[in-house]
Chain A
Amino acid sequence: EIVLTQSPGTLALSPGERATLSCRASQSFSSSNLAWYQQKPGQSPRLLIYGSSIRATGIPDRFSGSGSGTDFTLSISRLEPEDFAVYYCQQYGSSPPYSFGQGTKLEIK
């Protein structure tokens, strides 16, 4: 079973700054099998990125994803107030379970 470790656990930044979130896997898998989700308090998760770098429909281009093998990154180029939330990566390895990382909380500094 693939274990995903996200870092940092909490990231405190100001609006307008750039955010870089990391997701590291315990074993390598295809970059097409990595997705990122955003969750705001009291809301359901929302798909941001799939295939490690493809933005989902309606996602602003300030969000970008990259990575391969065991190391993946979600970047937000210029933080907007609505971007402060918890972000999760998820892997679809060779077979279920399709685990999530533990999440990174992006908070306002």
Chain B
Amino acid sequence: EVQLVESGGGLVQPGGSLRLSCAASGFTFRSFDMTWVRQAPGKGLEWVALISRSGGGTYYADSVKGRFTISRDNSDNTVYLQMNSLRAEDTAVYYCAKDGSYGRIREDSVFVYYYFMDVWGNGTRVTVSS
């Protein structure tokens, strides 16, 4: 069974740090990009960060750039989100998600690449408050 399990959430004071982990199982972890998505209480989904399958490429939302760092350990099938200088507005449930993207040649002989996230974890809650 393909599974993602997040951990590391909790209560932290403004300005503090927290490291989230996402343990993957049931698939070849090193072959897929991974993403963190968050959801503030009562709000919508916010894309946070992405890391390429090798770990050589990392991308961030402007709201977290310079404060958050995404990383991965392909030998341990785990993706991390190091969160520093936390603010009240970082309070959210943080989900990790597996990239499911693939490419194929359509009937008209055009190569098309489809992008999406096909597996999500249950999330870990982060509360930033004094």
Task: Return chain B residues, CB-CB under 8 Å to A97.
Answer: 47, 59-62
Interface 9-residue window, one of B8-16, B20-28, B113-121: B113-121
Binding site for A on B (CB under 8 A): 35, 37, 44-47, 50, 59-62, 95, 97, 100-101, 112-118, 120-123
Contact: A44 with B122, CB < 8 Å? yes
CA distance A92 to B113 in the complex (A): 11
- B44 engages A102 (CB within 8 Å): yes
Q: Would you call the interface of chain B mostly helix, strand, loop, or mixed?
A: strand
A37 to B119, CA, bound (A): 11
Q: Is the CB of A44 within 8 A of B95?
A: yes
A89 to nearest B CB, angstroms?
A: 10
> Is the Cβ of A56 less than 8 Å from the Cβ of B45?
no
Q: Are B95 and A35 in contact (CB under 8 A)?
A: no
> Please, could you name 8 A-B residue pairs with CB atoms under 8 Å apart, sorted by A?
A33-B115, A35-B117, A90-B116, A96-B60, A98-B50, A100-B45, A100-B46, A100-B47
Chain A nearest CB, measured from B58 CB (Å)? 9
Using a CB–CB distance below 8 Å, which chain A residues touch chain B?
Answer: 1, 30, 32-33, 35, 37, 39, 44-47, 50-51, 54, 56, 86, 88, 90, 92, 95-103
Contacts of B120 in A (CB 8 A): 44-46
Residues of A within 8 A of B35 (CB): 98
Q: Chain B residue with minimal CB distance to A31?
A: B112
Q: How far is the CB of A12 from chain B (nearest CB, A)?
A: 19
Contact A47-B116, Cβ < 8 Å, known A96-B59, A97-B61: yes
Assess whether B47 is in contact with A51, with CB atoms less than 8 Å apart. no
